[in-house]
Amino acid sequence: MGTERLAVEFERSLDGDVLLRVTGKLERSTAALLEGVLQALWNDPNPVVLDLSRVDHIDSRGLDVLLTAEAEAQRRNARVEVVGVRESLKAHRPPLE
């Protein structure tokens, strides 16, 4: 398989919260996609939930995108919540909190 794929599904609940369902590999070659979606949401006042339950690989670049999103949310007094990180991935990275 040549190119790695990452899909980001965007869903907005009735109360305005944003759910981003991420599927695939979050790594150097795909992280820009998620980064772009997150940047587009910076001015959205509603909480953003990142569901990573369908992500099977995160490298340091992917982790950097998540940490930057969290830092940016704090700076803007917004909320970004990361959910669904697989146990197999947790073993390879420091906690996001």
pLDDT digits (tens, 9 = 90+) for 9-62: 999 999 999 999 999 999 999 999 999 999 999 888 899 999 999 999 999 999
pLDDT digits (tens, 9 = 90+) for 57-69: 999 999 999 999 9
Q: By CB neighbour count within 10 A (0-12 exposed, 13-18 middle, 19+ buried), where does 70 fall?
A: middle
Report the pLDDT value the prediction gives residue 21, as an integer from 0 to 100: 97
**pTM listed for this prediction:** 0.84
- What ranges do the domains of the chain cover? 6-90
What is the rounded distance in angstroms from the CA atom of residue 96 to the CA atom of residue 90?
10
Q: How confident is the model at residue 1 (pLDDT cuts 50, 70, 90)?
A: very low
Given CATH 3.10.310.40, say whether it is the number of domain 6-90. no
